[in-house]
Structure 1
Amino acid sequence: MPHTTDAEYLAEPKPDLTIGFLLMKSFTLASVAGLVESLRFAADESFSSRQIFCRWEWMTCDNQPVTASCGLPVSPTATLDFSTRWDYFVVAGGLLEETRQPPQWLLEALRALHARNIPIITLCSGAFVAGNAGLLDGRHCAIHFTTRDEFRLRFPKAIPVIDKTYIKDGGIISCPGGTAIDLAADLIRQHCGLVRSQKVLKYLLVEEPAAPVKKVPPQNMLNEPDVYENDLVNKVIEFMKHHLDSPVPLADVAGFAGVTFRQLNLIFSKCTGYSAAVYWRRMRLEHARKLMADSSNSINAIAAATGFADASHLIAWFRKQYGETPSSFRKRRRVVERLVKE
């Protein structure tokens, strides 16, 4: 597809949705295909694959063909031009070797796009490109579980999440990979309407998600208010929630919050009644107790999932916090459940 100039935009009816794809070297094909195939079904009244209601362009960093991680070569359909008026700009990553250290000019261009309020979508390891540009600092980001540890080391100010198909936060839409059909369906629903979104899901053989059932929010694990008056405390608590399995040093948490270690503890003590370290440990213990109640996982596995050094470490703190061992807690739970059933 040739590059669309401003004059052509004025001469042609504007599509409902336009997306520019920047394909990094060794990009992952599945997520790109899921997104663009969804657009294809929504772009035409029939199934002729005409780009009428939705338009997209393929671009590469050097305007030369690029090869996907599976070996499929793709030629660009447009010259990379960041002044184009896309509704969304996609950074499609794949193998980490190609996204760990993106060129400086690309990072500057992404910052400029973000400043123009053009939403940026990261697919697969495209999140590493956005992270290098500083666009994920203080923001939640959906990443693939295999890259979580490295992502945390490289971008300690970001908040990685591994159990979401995509996340929107601060003008960045992160998608860890997979087919990206959930993301595509929501974009189409938002810009093209429910009917065309349903058409996409039907012809891709994907079931329409059921309407969400309204639920009573669960009681907060520490019986504290859902939101504190201090924005910094709320920000750090969100960070803690997403690092329950491997808590980072509190000095690094303070750095993430932009305060000193001493200031962090003073603010936490004033707002919550606990130091930051105690609050975080209680949060991890509550999560461990929930896992003990809701799963048959071993104590060792639960300790690993909640950031304790080993089972002994978890047992010691559990007894101190709740006055019983994990095994006695589980035994008591089984007795209560049996009585309820009877």
Structure 2
Amino acid sequence: MRSVAVVVQDGVEPFGLGAMCEVWNEPYHPEDDNPVFDFVVVAPEPGRVRGSGGFDIVVEDGLEAAADADLLCLAPHRNHLTPHPAVLDLVRAADARGAHVFAHCTATFTVGAAGLLDGRRCTTHWRHAAELSARFPEATVEPDRLYVQDGNLITGAGSAAGLDAALHLMRQEHGAAVAATAARRIVVPPHRDGGQAQYIARAVPECESEVLRPLLEWVATHLEEAHNVASLARRVHMSPRTFARRFRDEVGTTPHQWVTRQRVAAAEELLERSDRPVDWIATEVGFPNAQALRHHFSRVRGVSPAHYRRTFRAEAS
């Protein structure tokens, strides 16, 4: 994936557009050896495009500049119920040729209007999830997720979830090390899983958050040890039931799911950067055996550890 086009329409939301530019339009840095993409911002009618943040933008290129893009990004916009017809044609054509289509926030409505949500999983900002379901009843809307990938279609929730979805795709196409470098440059967490909750259901006192933060940091550096709800609860002097509830409220997922994702992420880096056998990597990151690593890795990443290594070790060589 080397060419990226971002489509803007009247009412474009500046944060959503900026997030896509931040990830996909970075110049080359020798110290990072980051990939550089053929990047373009396009509009159905080049020229002045009205923004929703109190200022407008000027776009020089029309939609034809996005005709062959490997990744077609749709920036969110306030007029999401009335997308431009030419944009719908562009989205259909991109999907038909197998390009990645990434719709951020309210741009998911554009994908639906193009007829691409039927029978597919998707998400949007939680405020608009019920409306999305009502307008496109054949879609499976998952309102409690940061982002959802269904084949070549990636849909993200609002604001910062656009960065999470973009980094997920960066990791998938270019490996964990490249995605981590991009995240470090942007100064955001290198990986928030798409299944994480969009928002915390209730406000949590600061002292409770301070209890869990050191625990998460400790677990991330002791993945090789056995962890379960009871053992983690003991470290923060809580009952298992209270700990499990507060963990879900503050982190957005269960302790088991969070630890498993951390182990898979650690395995990714070892697969990319070392020639160690899968058995050794499994033990190093805390899985009981290679079979367990293969099971969880394939479930989370969609490919086997061996396939992942062949892909990203080959790119690094």
TM-score, normalized by length of structure 1? 0.51
Identity %: 23
Residue of structure 2 equivalent to 1:199: 181
Cα offsets for 1:205-252 (capped at 9, x unmatched):
2233499xxxxxxxxxxxxxxxxxxxxxxxxxxxxxxxxxxxxxxxxx
Q: For residues 206 and 104 of structure 1, do their structure 2 counterparts lie closer, same or farther at Cα, with a shift above 3 Å needed?
A: closer
Residue of structure 2 equivalent to 1:55: 38
Aligned length: 195
Is this contact kept in 1: 2:88–2:114, CA < 8 A? yes
Q: Distance in 2 between matches of 1:210 and 1:136?
A: 24
Q: Distance in 1 between matches of 2:245 and 2:152?
A: 36
Is the aligned partner of 1:147 residue 2:140? no
Residue of structure 1 equivalent to 2:54: 71
Q: For residues 112 and 82 of structure 1, do their structure 2 counterparts lie closer, same or farther at Cα, with a shift above 3 Å needed?
A: farther
Is this contact kept in 1: 2:104–2:155, CA < 8 A? yes
Is this contact kept in 2: 1:58–1:75, CA < 8 A? no
Is this contact kept in 2: 1:88–1:118, CA < 8 A? yes
Is this contact kept in 2: 1:31–1:123, CA < 8 A? yes
Cα offsets for 1:282-319 (capped at 9, x unmatched):
xxxxxxxxxxx969xxxxxxxxxxxxxxxxxxxxxxxx
Cα offsets for 1:8-59 (capped at 9, x unmatched):
xxxxxxxx52211110211222122122212244x412499xx972221111
Q: Distance in 2 between matches of 1:210 and 1:175?
A: 12
TM-score, normalized by length of structure 2? 0.55
Is the aligned partner of 1:21 residue 2:3? no
Is this contact kept in 2: 1:82–1:109, CA < 8 A? no
Correspondence 1:145-294 to 2 at 5 A: 145-179=126-160, 180-209=162-191
Q: Distance in 2 between matches of 1:138 and 1:155?
A: 10
Residue of structure 2 equivalent to 1:309: none
> Structure 1 regions of 5+ residues with no counterpart?
1-15, 212-292, 296-342
Q: Distance in 2 between matches of 1:177 and 1:149?
A: 15
Aligned-partner residue type, residue 29 of structure 2: E
SS at match of 2:64: coil
Please tell me whether Structure 1 or Structure 2 has the larger radius of gyration of its CA atoms.
1
Is this contact kept in 1: 2:5–2:66, CA < 8 A? no
Q: For residues 103 and 30 of structure 1, do their structure 2 counterparts lie closer, same or farther at Cα, with a shift above 3 Å needed?
A: closer
> Structure 2 regions of 5+ residues with no counterpart?
194-243, 247-317
Correspondence 1:328-339 to 2 at 5 A: none
Is this contact kept in 2: 1:92–1:122, CA < 8 A? yes
Aligned match of 1:90 in 54, 73, 77? 73
CA RMSD of aligned residues (A): 2.9
Is this contact kept in 1: 2:4–2:24, CA < 8 A? no
Is this contact kept in 2: 1:32–1:123, CA < 8 A? no
Q: For residues 207 and 144 of structure 1, do their structure 2 counterparts lie closer, same or farther at Cα, with a shift above 3 Å needed?
A: closer
Residue of structure 1 equivalent to 2:235: none
Aligned-partner residue type, residue 167 of structure 2: A
